[in-house]
Amino acid sequence: MGSSVVDLLAELVAINSVNGSMRDGPGEGALAEYVAAFGRRCGAEVSLDEVLPGRPNVRLRLPSRRGPAGASPVPGPSGAPPRRLLLDVHLDTVPLDTMPDPLSPRVRDGRMWGRGACDTKSSLAAALTALRRLAETDAPRGAEIEVLCTVDEEYRKRGVMHAVAGGLTADAAIVGEPTGLRPVIAHKGALRWRLTTIGKAAHTSQPENGHNAIYEMVEVIRWLRQRIEPALALQQHPLLTPPTFTVGRIEGGVGVNIVPERCSIEIDRRTLPQEGPDGILAEIDAMMTELMQRRPGLRVAREAPFLAERGSETAPGSAVVQAVQRSCRDVLGPDAPVTPRGVPYGTDATHLKGIPTVVFGPGDIAQAHSADEWVDLIEVERASEILLRVMQGFVDGSW
């Protein structure tokens, strides 16, 4: 076991945990075993919960207690279960790709390079080191800490979804991701679905006998963009950029000499936390009905969404946000930038509905998923120190 957060990070990077649903991914199993063993050595209660074959979530729990190891737990208010702070960090990485020596961490100029060094093994190393330091003290703990290490964040987030479906609860949560040590409290959501125009096939020597589904789709796209894009640009959120509408795929026709009978598009709509999928799809349906009235012969079919992830946000005044801000100032200095931000992408936090959540960790998202993935080691050390203070404040009841 590495004794410093940097040694630990090097060990984590060396374990291949490429998402098992992505190219060449062996999955998170080996890293999960490593983390479980780390937790047992810390004296945490450890459980592995298989989400996909050979791909378990790992939970490390430091229970509340009235005194040193072996003392009885402290119940929550009026005998309820103890208060719980959750740290959620994903185990998986994106594929190794063209990165040179992705599993041999290299340190130079205060940075470490390697797959996952930034996203998000630096957050994992910071959380585990903070947990170990908290476990090493004999101080009473008036609340419990749980570190949940999830699988499949980079693909479909089935790890955190499995934990939530299994009854995961917490009074507050911190999700480890590269945020440059800034608290992030708002995420956009994503809604994706397919639309198909249906025409009539004919030989292209007599196209008048057919009905060209590709030409109809051109009209559909133009119609939707004209109506949707200006309206979205006017929508506002204090921390997020306006929602967006993108046609990301198109497919139609079977050969150059056949009038195409079908043309499909896939739409990616990024949403604000206040927007729900039902309202968005109802609006699309109404627009299509109107277009069909204007264009006799147009037939469009909309499928149910294949992805519907709502956006999420935590109130800036929440206790967990303030605790992270306080600890950031303690460690980084009084001028540390701690104003909460929003991000356009999703994380495990998107699924922790109803739990006040801050996304926080070392590293810059610009280095994540790239062939040049690195993290500043001083940020990793500071992240661990900040997390330790947040945890200590939670268990001693100061927030």
Among 16, 17, 19, 120, binds Zn ion (CB under 5 A): 120
Question: For residues 82 and 102, which CB has a smaller minimum distance to Zn ion in the complex?
Answer: 102
CB of 153 to Zn ion, least distance (A): 6
Q: Which range in 95-103, 119-127, 235-243, 276-284 contacts Zn ion by CB under 5 A?
A: 119-127
Per CB under 5 A, contacts with Zn ion among 311-350 are none
What is the rounded distance in angstroms from the CA atom of residue 260 to the CA atom of residue 215? 9
For residue 207, the SS3 value is helix
CB of 319 to Zn ion, least distance (A): 25
Asked if 373 interacts with Zn ion (CB under 5 A), we say no
- CB count within 10 Å of CB 300 equals 21
Q: Residue 351: which of 394, 306, 308 has the closest Cα? A: 308
- In degrees and rounded to multiples of 5, residue 259 shows phi and psi of -60, 125
Instruction: Give yes or no for a contact between 9 and 123, defined as CB atoms under 8 angstroms apart.
Output: no
Q: Which amino acid is at 14?
A: A
Please state the separation of Cα 297 from the chain's center in Å.
43
Question: For residues 217 and 359, which CB has a smaller minimum distance to Zn ion in the complex?
Answer: 359
Residue with tokens 């060990």: 11
Q: Which amino acid is at 301?
A: A
What is the rounded distance in angstroms from the CA atom of residue 158 to the CA atom of residue 153? 7
CB of 266 to Zn ion, least distance (A): 24
- What is the per-residue binding string for Zn ion in 72-111, x denoting contact by CB under 5 A? ----------------------------------------
Question: For residues 120 and 179, which CB has a smaller minimum distance to Zn ion in the complex?
Answer: 120
Question: For residues 17 and 64, which CB has a smaller minimum distance to Zn ion in the complex?
Answer: 17
Residue with tokens 């204007």: 294
CB of 93 to Zn ion, least distance (A): 8
CB of 211 to Zn ion, least distance (A): 46
Q: Which range in 54-62, 116-124, 261-269, 309-317 contacts Zn ion by CB under 5 A?
A: 116-124
CB of 375 to Zn ion, least distance (A): 12
What is the rounded distance in angstroms from the CA atom of residue 241 to the CA atom of residue 271? 10
Going by DSSP bridges, is the β-strand pair 184-187/341-343 parallel, antiparallel, or unpaired?
Answer: parallel
Question: For residues 119 and 309, which CB has a smaller minimum distance to Zn ion in the complex?
Answer: 119
CB of 157 to Zn ion, least distance (A): 10
CB of 120 to Zn ion, least distance (A): 4
DSSP string, 340-358: -EEESS--GGGG-TTS-EE
Per CB under 5 A, contacts with Zn ion among 167-206 are 177
Asked if 376 interacts with Zn ion (CB under 5 A), we say no
Q: Token pair for residue 42?
A: 């810390």
CB of 238 to Zn ion, least distance (A): 24
How many residues bind Zn ion, per CB under 5 A?
Answer: 3
Asked if 152 interacts with Zn ion (CB under 5 A), we say no
Q: Residue 85 has what DSSP assignment?
A: E
Q: Which range in 115-123, 196-204, 323-331, 355-363 contacts Zn ion by CB under 5 A?
A: 115-123
Asked if 119 interacts with Zn ion (CB under 5 A), we say yes
- Exposure of 230 by Cβ count < 10 A (0-12 exposed, 13-18 middle, 19+ buried)? exposed
What is the rounded distance in angstroms from the CA atom of residue 288 to the CA atom of residue 271? 20
Contact positions vs Zn ion (CB under 5 A)? 119-120, 177
